[in-house]
Structures are given as C-alpha cells and as structure tokens.
Amino acid sequence: MNRLHARIAGAMVGCALLGIAGCTEVSRGSLESVRLLWRGKPTLAPTAEQVAARPFYQMRATTAAGDAVLILGNVDGPREFWYGTQGVLVVLQHGRVVMTAGLDRNLDGNRLSSPGDPFATGLHRLGTRLAYERVDDWSPGYRYGVPVHAVLRPTGSAEIDILGASRHTLLITEEITATSAGYHVTNRYWVDPSDGFVWMSEQHVMPGLTMKLVQLRPYRGGAS
C-alpha cells in the first residue's frame, strides 16, 4: 500500500472512531481487546458467551490472511463501517461489501450504474433472476471504473449455524462478471426470509480478495 493510500485508509478509520459514541460506545481499549488477527492464518472460534460479554456489534470476517472479529464503529445512512486494528476497515451496505481499506488489496469504490438496488429492496423478495450493473474501483494498480455485470438468483432455503444457534435462511447466489478484467466469480448470501437481513455471505470483493462474513452480534437498525 503506497503512502497516499495509507493516509486515506488512516483518515477513514479516524472518521469511524469519531462517530463511535452515538452508535456502539466502542473505545480504543475495547478495540484492542478484540485483537484482530489478519496476519498469519489463525482460526478464530468465538463462543456465544464471549460475544455476549462485549457490549458492541461484532462480525467475523475470513480472508486468505486469516480470521478476524470486526466491530461496528459508525453508521452513515445505509453504510455500516466495520473496523479493527492495523487500519482494517470493511464497509457494508445492506449486507454487500462496498469498500475496504487497510488490506493488501482493496475495493476503493463501488457504485450502481443501473436503477434500483436489489439489496436495499431486500433479497428475500427476489422471486426470479435479476441482473444489475455497477462500477468498481480496485487497488493497487489504480483500476478505476471497472464495469461489473451481476446476476442474482434465489436458490432455495438453507439452515446455517451461528454460535451454536441454527437459523433458517434463503440462499441467494450472485454471478459477477467483469469482462474487461477477465473476472468471473459467484457470491453467496444467506438471508433472513422475514426481512432480507444478510446473516452470512461469501463475497469475491475483487480479484485477489474474497471474504466470508458472519454476523455474530448483528446491527439491525439499532436492534441487537
């Protein structure tokens, strides 16, 4: 990561820190207590008791670099800023990753270029195939303005386990194609059938960056 990008990432995390008080009451000390472990390849196994003992919203993230528990630092409209030590930041919008910072590869920007947002409408309402278009900005390499074609499909129900509790979900697959980059992958979202909340997902955020996200103590518009 070059110096300019490092400064941008640091500023973004700083902004999240400034907005904490009204959202999750997270302090720098409690952030350190979560002990994010991106380097190496550790496997975290938080228990329901450990999650409940910490008074903030938590999400498990897994990449090729290892596991981490992210905490919610700020909410700005539909965007949730999940962050941790060493400048790591993951921004979600209705369950979809729309920006990252502090990783070896980052999604610098993501914007829809077709009308409507099927994630905002609710993936639980998806009855058939639905296509949409977006534009991505990837770094390093300054690959900005990459056209992305996405196709969402409902693929049935699925039971998932989070912290020992079974949850009934709808599985939605998303085929991603960026022809100019020779990129084709499939994402998966496990959503609540009642309101479309994304409990778990496997997202190919960009070439070289894949994340599995699991909501441990979810933020659902202020309800925990």
User: Is residue 92 within 8 Å of residue 214, measured between CB atoms?
Assistant: no
37 pLDDT more than 60: no
Distances (CA, A) of 4 to 81, 180, 205: 21, 26, 22
Question: What are the structure tokens assigned to 44, written together?
Answer: 């975290």
Give the whole-angstrom CA distance, residue 105 versus residue 100: 8
Work out the number of other CB atoms within 10 angstroms of the CB of residue 26.
Answer: 22
- Which residue is listed with tokens 């000390």? 29
User: What pTM does this model have?
Assistant: 0.84
Q: What is the pLDDT of residue 83?
A: 84
User: Is residue 157 within 8 Å of residue 194, measured between CB atoms?
Assistant: no
150 pLDDT more than 80: yes
Assign 28 a pLDDT band (cuts: 50, 70, 90).
low
Give the whole-angstrom CA distance, residue 124 versus residue 173: 12
